[in-house]
Structure 1
Amino acid sequence: MGFFVARAPLSPPPLKLLCCDTSQCRRQRHGTLSRGGCLCGAVRITTSGPPLRVGICHCRDCRRHHGALFYAAAIFPTQAVHIEGRPHHYKGRHSCGTCGSSVFAQTGDEIEVHLGSLDDTNGLTPEYEVSCRRREDWLPQFTGTACHDRDRGGD
């Protein structure tokens, strides 16, 4: 994938997705930082600034990928996300190769940071739900979310 920095093949250090070159630059330029990672700590993620949006997905692919009835993510521009470690990927979904935790996904120029992978999700409230036609009837309604049968713009 083109958004990782390549390293020497013998003893490769972690791959990195960089917004800025220094943490001081990230703090001054973007303000808020969110951190998280996988269960074992081999893959770590830092986001800068507020997300573009926060949402919930009920689609079959997300259900199978996460082993759950739905998943929630904060979506950031690629340049606002810094990844450390060597995540494995399958069709744009990235997980830890050691513990298997799903950490993020990439679609185009956006990174979907899985809320469950963040150390603190305070303030990251979902605004919408997609694939609501697959939503379980017994799930309670989430306050303040718009529910779309398919994608946000493609009901």
Structure 2
Amino acid sequence: MSHRVQTGGCLCGAVRYEVRGEPTVSGLCHCATCRKLTGSIVSATANWPLDRFRMEGELRTFARRSFCPTCGSRLFFLTDEDVEVFLGTLDAAPNGIGPAVEGWAVRREHWLPPVNGTVRYDENPPAGSD
């Protein structure tokens, strides 16, 4: 396992986190939920196992999606197995994590070209690849 450590957090700095090693998967999602959740036309995320993630600060959650209660920054999606981090919340920009998959590609805006090298799915990617 790589020893790379990346840090991130919310806009106001009240919530901080770190992820260790490389993500298990990274991707873009064009679904309606991700559009509403991010306020953008696409969501860029990457997943790490929970044992390679730590955070400090107070969170609020909605549908297991965690955000800062002070500034409202959406940070990550926690499951029992892993954490899906919104890549825009990492401190490093660029962060060097490119997408491997694109979900809901049928909803991609016509002017936004597919990302070369990604595996594209018209709807949800199969479990373990999103």
Matched residue of 1:140: which SS? coil
Which sections of structure 1, spanning at least 5 residues, go unmatched? 1-28
RCO higher in structure (CA 8 A, sep ≥6): 2
Runs of 4+ in 1 over 2 A off after TM superposition: none
Q: Which moved more, 1:114-123 or 1:83-92?
A: 114-123
Query: 1:30: how far off?
Result: 5.8
Whole-angstrom distance in 1 between the partners of 2:64 and 2:86: 13
> Given the alignment of the two structures, is residue 133 of structure 1 paired with residue 106 of structure 2, yes or no?
yes
TM-score, length-scaled by structure 2 = 0.90
Q: Which moved more, 1:107-116 or 1:97-106?
A: 107-116
Give the fraction of aligned pairs with identical amino acids, expressed as a percent.
Answer: 40
Aligned length: 126
> Given the alignment of the two structures, is residue 36 of structure 1 paired with residue 8 of structure 2, yes or no?
yes
Alignment partner of 2:30 out of 58, 61, 66: 58
> What is the root-mean-square deviation of aligned Cα atoms in Å?
1.5
Map 1:1-155 → 2, pairs under 5 A:
31-120=3-92, 121-153=94-126
Whole-angstrom distance in 2 between the partners of 1:82 and 1:116: 17
Larger Rg: 1
Whole-angstrom distance in 2 between the partners of 1:105 and 1:144: 25
Query: 1:87: how far off?
Result: 1.1
Query: 1:133: how far off?
Result: 1.7
Which sections of structure 2, spanning at least 5 residues, go unmatched? none
Amino acid at match of 1:139: L
TM-score, length-scaled by structure 1 = 0.76
Whole-angstrom distance in 2 between the partners of 1:30 and 1:87: 28
Amino acid at match of 1:114: F
1:3 aligns to what? none
